[in-house]
Amino acid sequence: MDQAEEREIVRRCREGDESAFAGLVDAYKDLVFAMATRLTGSRDQAEDLAQEAFLRVHRGLPYFRGEARLGTWIYRIVANLATEPRFHRSTAASLDTGKQGGPADVASHDSSFGDLELKDRLEKAIARLPENYRLLIAGHYLKGVRYEDLAEAAGIPMGTVKTHLYRAKKMLRRMLESDLG
Amino acid sequence: MTCQEFEDRIDALASGDEVQTHETRAHLETCHRCQAAFARAVQVEQFLASRPAPAAPPRFTPRVSIAVRHATWESEQSLDRWFNVAVAASILLAACGVWLLANVSGMAAVGADAGRLLRDGAALAAERFGGNVAVYFGATLVLLFSVAVWSWAEQN
């Protein structure tokens, strides 16, 4: 969605056009849901968070000045919501990747088990990261999210975003190494 | 290049933000510790890039639309409640003001000498009105506030 489309959709939403708001939800729901799932580690909580985020978007649209991109503003809303205790992720939570292995030989079974174990360790390590690092890690690899968007949403310079991401990844490596002994 | 210098750039190299230089390649070829660290960094990078990003469930948009309609309705109900409270409070205050005026000015005790009192009433009321200015002022404010709330509610 380019900026002209964004302005138009915001204008129509402000005028109470329900179909325009539904269009806005359609455009951003996957991004919001993916981010929410990564932050909460649970589909149910992610759904609640995503719905609450869009309610806040609806309430906030009359005050949206258009200085930031709509997606950036929505990202910020999701990030703020994720810091609320009701959406805090349990450190024991592990994302279900939805990939179930079929029959395979022992070697590939061991290998996929090793991968799953590694993924589980990394998910748990991510849950132990400081809040600001966790938000950046959750948002960084989503389709269409750029360093600039993260910087704008977090209110920090782009160089700091990169530095924080490198530090977060370094912490993940350290946690993984100490886990694996 | 030292191990510390390589370590400082390892995540930028693994993510592709920085490209390998002759120096970094040369260091990697000779340092087993940094080779292992780099392999781990690449592993973390690949994992982060491949983390699931599930799509929103079907019927998510209609559910949000219903939630928005419900929230809007609740907000309007709340506004209506406050408007009604403001109107009731202003009517009550106005009634109190009239009652006080009637009592303080002696109009409630009008009896046989009503004619004389009525003659003097206006002068007496004006004289004693000053004591109840706060009540009238308060009632007027509440009335104006409720009109303003009503007007705002009508516009929105």
Give residue-wise pLDDT tens across range A109-147.
556 667 788 888 888 899 889 888 988 888 888 876 788
Q: What is the mean pLDDT of residues A57-61?
A: 92
- How close is the nearest chain B Cα to the Cα of A74, in Å? 15
Q: Is A169 exposed, middle or buried (0-12, 13-18, 19+ CB in 10 A)?
A: buried
Backbone angles phi, psi at A65, to 5 degrees: -90, -10
- Nearest CA to B92 out of B148, B139, B150 is that of B139
Average pLDDT of the residues in A40-53: 90
Chain A closest CA to B27's CA: distance in Å? Answer: 19
Interface test mutation site (partner A, options B50, B61, B63, max chain A beta carbons within 10 A): B61
Predicted local confidence at residue B95, as pLDDT: 92
Task: Provide the pLDDT for residue A103.
Answer: 41
String of b and e for B39-50 (b: at least 16 CB within 10 Å)? Answer: ebbebbbebbee
More confident residue, B1 or A164: A164
* pLDDT recorded at residue B90: 93
**Option in B15, B44, B55 nearest A30 (CB):** B55
pLDDT of A45 higher than 60: yes
Residue A92 confidence class, pLDDT cut points 50, 70, 90: very low
pLDDT above 70 (res A91): no
CA distance A132 to A140: 12
Query: Could you tell me what percent of chain A has a pLDDT over 90?
Result: 19
Looking at per-residue pLDDT, the higher value among A66 and B7 belongs to B7
Top pLDDT among A111 and A178 is at: A178
Q: Which of A47, A59, A170 is closest, CB to CB, to B11? A: A170
- ipTM of this model? 0.73
CB-CB: which of B49, B53, B64 is closest to A51?
Answer: B64
CB contact under 8 A, A59 and B51: no
Contacts A–B by Cβ distance under 8 A: 101
pLDDT score for B42? 92
pLDDT of B27 reads 92
Q: Does the pLDDT of residue A50 top 90, yes or no?
A: yes
Contacts of residue A173, defined as CB under 8 A and 6 or more positions apart, other chains included, come to: B37, B40, B41, B44
Contact status of A151 with chain B (Cβ, < 8 Å): no
Residue A83 has, within 13 A of its CA and on its CB side, a CA count of 10
pTM: 0.66
Residues in A closer than 8 angstroms to B37, CB to CB, are 173
pLDDT computed for residue A96 by the predictor: 43
pLDDT at A100: 39
Identify the CA nearest to A6 among candidates A73, A51, A56: A73
Sequential pLDDT tens for chain B (156 residues) = 889 999 989 999 998 889 989 999 999 999 999 999 999 999 899 988 888 788 888 899 999 999 999 988 888 888 899 999 999 999 999 999 888 887 777 666 655 566 776 777 777 777 777 677 788 888 899 999 999 999 888 877
| Structure tokens belonging to residue B3 | 């191990």
